[in-house]
Structure 1
Amino acid sequence: MSDPHPSRPDREDKRTFLQKLAEFIHPGPDSTDELIETLVDAEQNNIIGAESRQMLEGVLRMADMTAGDVMVPTTRMDLVDIGEPMDSLLRGVIDAGHSRFPVFEGDRENIIGILLAKDLLKLYRAPEHNIRAMLRPAVFVPESKWLNDLLTDFRGNRNHLAVVIDEFGRVAGLVTIEDVLEEIVGEIEDEFDIADDEGDIFSLADRTYRVSGDTTIERVDEAFKVKLIGSDPEDEFDTIGGLIAHEMGHVPKRGERFTLAGLNFVVMHTKGGAVKWFKVSPVVDETP
């Protein structure tokens, strides 16, 4: 005899993610902070994943942020001087390692356009071209520009970099689409980021070396045949980035230089308050 009340298979939950989230937070929080707390509860109740919660939290926080909150300040901007000799200009572009550079003429405040590093390759195919002809229009935004609006502009006009202007019309810094997106998705790896197993010291075409800030001091000693010791021998450091920062007495900034144990260290790239890459070369003895 058949079962008059056969068991029914569990129905598939066809609610969308947003429907689940809306039902969970109903009737809704009264502030952004409460909404963020609700998202944490949703994660703990397995309604959303950790990455989804972090991204949603980033979107909420970004709504209250401006270009001035995430910009690279003018003191740390890598600019290109339109009047600089080509060889020197190319070295600066290669050392900085960015894909886009604001270009100025005369005064650093006089930004006349944006140079894409890839456009410099055209000079090898057509040497008659000049840098000025390659410049893209520069986009200027106020420090008070909301990040939500800035992201919309980036998507709409296909620009990936904007120069930030303060209330007096002076250059305050620059902001990229990566800076904005990192507020949502967290740190984005770039061309300087490599996996731990891909190496830490690389030779460059100009006979200098690119050295990761996370490289151990022992590894640097071995590679360059030196003995790196700080000003206080009792201080112990594991990485070259930690040692150089300690010796300089502050968090190194891009472009800063320091000499130690017969080696010149130039900060190529920083991220999160730490040096990601140094450019290293032996000190040249100019004594006749």
Structure 2
Amino acid sequence: MSEDRPTQSDENGRDQRGWFERISQAFSGEPRDRDGLVDMLREAQQRALLDADQLAMIEGALHVSEMQVRDIMIPRSQMVVVRRDAELRELLPPVIESGHSRFPVIGDNRDDVIGILIAKDLLRYFSEDAGKRINMRELMRPALFVPESKRLDVMLKEFRSSRNHLAVVVDEYGGVAGMVTIEDVLEQIVGEIDDEHDIDEDSYILSQREGASIVKALTPIEDFNEHFHTDFSDEEFDTIGGLVAHSFGHLPRRGEQVTVERYRFEVIRADNRRIHLLMVTNVPEEPEMEARDEGRARSARRE
């Protein structure tokens, strides 16, 4: 009578049982530190018990407790804000261009945050009483203020309990240091969250309307030239962002504009290290300039 030999499924079953036993030990004293737990999870991924995305999310959740709000906040200088005394026509451009849903409302300056404006609350002013003057004090919601040192896991709990999606970050002196959103925290766990205003990772140029396009700053100049039928040189700079930054003469902030040849470049997303997104608009030549050029051409032909 032949002996029963273990099958491949039996071996896999023992493999999984052994790993799950080790996981249970993780919550009863083994491993004794977080690095040991991460090593065990990576071993599980190598054994195909977890896929790469699941492992990344678990590691992200573990790291969130080690990070502080200051590590991910949007700096004060890059906050898109609205003023307390702004009229509707002044509010619409930043709301439309940024694509954000919430905006800090400021008084005299950026350190004077008095509330939060939710973009959808502006819809009432597009009804029959669209001519009614905006009362910002009635529109805005209370602002949530948090210190730079708050841990991200605690911040996430506070977002959930308070039902806020945005918090204003203050420094040790009480001044505004920046702001953080619930999406910023979640991205540390699940990775970058794209929305309808983000450009597909595989594309460089997103045309919005005739004469205006959103362009990634990392767009190669060769690709930019091909799309816009321009002839910018790529000898000194490889990307359109490099060319634009050089034209500014400094690292620009959001909202700054510069015109190069017949195109206006407006910075719509940037940080303290580089430009991310540009709004590119075709600037037609002024009629007087065209007439002057045409006159010169006629004179040259007569000569």
TM interval, shorter chain, is 0.7 to 0.9
Equivalent pairs, count:
281
* TM-score (norm: length of structure 2): 0.77
- Residue 263 in 1 paired to residue 268 in 2? no
Between the aligned partners of 1:154 and 1:179, the Cα distance in structure 2 is 12
1:48 to partner: Cα distance: 2.1
1:198 to partner: Cα distance: 7.4
Q: Deviations over 1:119-168 (max 9, x none)?
A: 22221014226251221111111112121111011111211000011111
Q: Which residue identity does 2:89 align to in structure 1?
A: D
- Name stretches of at least 5 consecutive residues in structure 1 with no aligned partner: none
State the Cα RMSD in Å.
Answer: 3.5
Going from structure 1 to structure 2, the CA distance change for 1:264 and 1:144 (only over 3 Å counts) comes to same
- Residue 213 in 1 paired to residue 217 in 2? yes
Preserved contact between residue 106 and residue 113 of structure 2 (Cα < 8 Å): yes
Going from structure 1 to structure 2, the CA distance change for 1:7 and 1:55 (only over 3 Å counts) comes to same
- Residue 171 in 1 paired to residue 173 in 2? no
Q: Deviations over 1:250-279 (max 9, x none)?
A: 765433333323322111124896644311
Preserved contact between residue 210 and residue 279 of structure 1 (Cα < 8 Å): yes
Secondary structure of residue in 2 paired with 1:266:
strand
- Residue 183 in 1 paired to residue 184 in 2? no
**Selected match of 1:34 from 30, 33, 36:** 36
Q: Which has the higher helix share?
A: 2
Going from structure 1 to structure 2, the CA distance change for 1:266 and 1:48 (only over 3 Å counts) comes to same
Between the aligned partners of 1:173 and 1:160, the Cα distance in structure 2 is 14
- Residue 161 in 1 paired to residue 166 in 2? yes
Whichever of the two has the greater Rg, that structure is 2
Going from structure 1 to structure 2, the CA distance change for 1:92 and 1:266 (only over 3 Å counts) comes to same
Q: Deviations over 1:34-57 (max 9, x none)?
A: 332332222223332211211111
Going from structure 1 to structure 2, the CA distance change for 1:198 and 1:66 (only over 3 Å counts) comes to closer
Preserved contact between residue 227 and residue 261 of structure 1 (Cα < 8 Å): no
1:217 to partner: Cα distance: 2.7
Secondary structure of residue in 2 paired with 1:108:
coil
Alignment of 1:89-128 (within 5 A): 89-125=91-127, 126-127=129-130, 128=132
Going from structure 1 to structure 2, the CA distance change for 1:188 and 1:157 (only over 3 Å counts) comes to same
1:65 to partner: Cα distance: 1.4
Between the aligned partners of 1:47 and 1:273, the Cα distance in structure 2 is 39
1:235 aligns to what? 236
Q: Which residue identity does 2:225 align to in structure 1?
A: D
Alignment of 1:62-77 (within 5 A): 62-77=64-79
Preserved contact between residue 143 and residue 166 of structure 1 (Cα < 8 Å): yes
Q: Deviations over 1:224-273 (max 9, x none)?
A: 443223xxx63251x42354346557765433333323322111124896
Going from structure 1 to structure 2, the CA distance change for 1:196 and 1:48 (only over 3 Å counts) comes to closer
Percentage of identical aligned residues: 39
Preserved contact between residue 20 and residue 47 of structure 1 (Cα < 8 Å): no
Q: Which residue identity does 1:210 align to in structure 2?
A: I
